[in-house]
């Protein structure tokens, strides 16, 4: 019976089902059952329109760029340390 109140509260808030259920600690299934028993049907989110592959490529490229940036930063730090050590011993 507690799901009855949750169904009304869900309809009044502008949250996704997943976020609402997390905040109230109930399952999406129980929320869906209660909404269906009240005669309320909420359509599922449709699949993306083919941009998914392009999005994955973009994410992959961003990841590779970040990785290269980190690698270059580490290499610069190592070269800088080596240079400082060599100059210390030369000027010693």
What pLDDT, on a 0 to 100 scale, did the predictor assign at position 1?
46
What pLDDT, on a 0 to 100 scale, did the predictor assign at position 46?
59
Cα Rg of the chain (Å, integer) = 27
What pLDDT, on a 0 to 100 scale, did the predictor assign at position 92?
59
Which pair of tokens denotes residue 68? 């290269």
Question: What are the average pLDDT values for consecutive 10-residue runs of the chain, which has 92 residues?
Answer: 64 72 76 76 62 74 84 82 77 66
53 to 47, 57, 60, 61: CA distances (angstroms): 12, 6, 10, 12
Enter the pTM of the model.
0.35
Helix (H/G/I), strand (E/B), else coil: 39: coil
Picking from 12, 45, 17, the residue whose alpha carbon sits closest to that of residue 33 is: 17
């Amino acid at each position: 019976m507690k799901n009855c109140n949750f169904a009304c509260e869900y309809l009044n808030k502008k949250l996704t089902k997943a976020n609402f259920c997390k905040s109230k600690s109930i399952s999406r299934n129980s929320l869906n059952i209660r909404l269906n028993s009240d005669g309320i049907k909420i359509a599922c989110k449709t699949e993306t329109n083919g941009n998914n592959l392009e999005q994955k490529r973009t994410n992959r490229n961003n990841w590779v760029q970040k990785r290269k940036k980190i690698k270059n930063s580490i290499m610069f730090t190592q070269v800088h340390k080596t240079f400082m050590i060599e100059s210390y011993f030369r000027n010693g």
